[in-house]
Structure 1
């Protein structure tokens, strides 16, 4: 009833599933990627999202650029936790930030783990895999010569990984101190763009958790270890078609970062010039 047939939503739809016929909006839902840009752009709020009318932005709540920069500069991986739990309502609020990720895939779901025993299982699975890797890569001294001879580009990383794995071996666990919770983003392993969508969702959660003063660690790469462990998959009730696409560990920080650190700048190329300002 609110639609006046202006066509702004039709122009912005990159899936081309919107059209106007005699001034009436037609939506081909089977082609819709649920990006919600049509909802956001409609000047008359005529398109509903999940049966809910959209709300106007309150631009007075926008952070200033210097505030965003401060958040980015403070952002560091948190590995030391106090042991204090995180309220479940807070964890649900953090996980809900995935809904605002610019994603094309809404076939994902989150698993929030705040059970200490399951978190210990995560630690144990990754630790055991890491120790097997250590024994395979570093126990035979000849492996260093093999890497140097056949994969010289990897020699530096090979040497840097050894002391990290030795620290794990001496500590006998992955986490220095156990996080209060772990959030996983899982979905159909064959669905297109699932990995990209999950990373968008995790980044939203990460920044939101940081704004609440929580320590956050993205377990990059470790979800592959968890995906291959049948016992763990059964424990968290993943079905055969599902895959863990990303994992973050959260906790109250035992160490507070106090100083700004200038990040490593990326080189900039303008157009097809190799140098320039």
Structure 2
């Protein structure tokens, strides 16, 4: 919870003026936090010149000098990053796994009730893999064992042949869902009924992915594991996932066993300026 240390507060009104009385108002010259509105974004902590606003009673760290990141280096770093589907059989130290998880708290999320479970027990990872493979098999049988259902689904989706081929690869060729030699799984857990929980989890994941890459550790998002764990009561119970919560995202990590030597070209995201239909705008 965010709180104010009134012994440090100089009544400068920086926080009050910044939020215009929305989540922090002026009460007899003192800032007052409206906890019904506050989403714990921590912006007030970041801008307080006197370090008088705290998170969970902890003093913020004063920024002594600006950090300058060379934009070209960052862009080159991002261009070279790829999702890794094959890892080396090399254990990641626990302190490194914990460090990757720790940077998630700096992600620009608005839900501070997301939990991260780190799994580095290879036996447990294998159990989750087997459970996920059974889940894929069940889905495959549902979608493709009954021709009338397959035909019905194809009326709404033209990607069914692609899905079928991917499932068959996992079931008959790869015989795994978890990527080869995965050394760690991060499970992000939260209550999806709480506003912005799902979107906040994605911010945490993206921050962890970038930091892991900076440490020389590859990663891959595992939506198939997210789906299968959420539907496997035995796995959820084994992981002590609270009732009402669910897995919001799964990230597999390991030292890359893929040789990335090229930056792909030719794909662009469609981008446009101020696209609008003026006839539909009501003044």
TM-score (norm 1): 0.88
The alpha carbon displacement at 1:58 in A equals: 5.7
1:172 corresponds to 2:175: yes
Q: 1:146 to 1:22 in 2, by over 3 A?
A: closer
Structure 1 stretches lacking a partner, 5+ long: none
Contact 2:179 2:252 in 1 (8 A): no
The alpha carbon displacement at 1:57 in A equals: 3.2
RMSD: 2.3
Counterpart of 1:38 (choices 39, 44, 58) is: 44
| Between 19-28 and 133-142, the greater mean CA deviation after superposition | 133-142
- Tell me the residue number matched to 1:217: 220
TM-score (norm 2): 0.86
Contact 1:123 1:173 in 2 (8 A): yes
Aligned residue for 1:48, secondary structure, equals strand
1:193 corresponds to 2:196: yes
The 2-side partners of 1:52 and 1:78 are apart by 37
The 2-side partners of 1:4 and 1:40 are apart by 16
The 2-side partners of 1:146 and 1:190 are apart by 31
Contact 1:4 1:23 in 2 (8 A): no
- Tell me the residue number matched to 1:81: 87
Q: 1:191 to 1:143 in 2, by over 3 A?
A: closer
| Between 31-40 and 14-23, the greater mean CA deviation after superposition | 14-23
1:266 corresponds to 2:245: no
The alpha carbon displacement at 1:18 in A equals: 1.4
| Superposed counterparts of 1:1-277, under 5 Å | 1-13=7-19, 16-57=22-63, 61-140=67-146, 145-148=151-154, 150-151=155-156, 154-155=157-158, 157-170=159-172, 171-262=174-265, 264-272=267-275
Structure 2 stretches lacking a partner, 5+ long: 1-6, 278-283
The 1-side partners of 2:63 and 2:84 are apart by 32
The 2-side partners of 1:232 and 1:100 are apart by 29
The alpha carbon displacement at 1:248 in A equals: 0.4
Contact 1:214 1:253 in 2 (8 A): yes
The 2-side partners of 1:195 and 1:15 are apart by 28
The 1-side partners of 2:149 and 2:37 are apart by 52
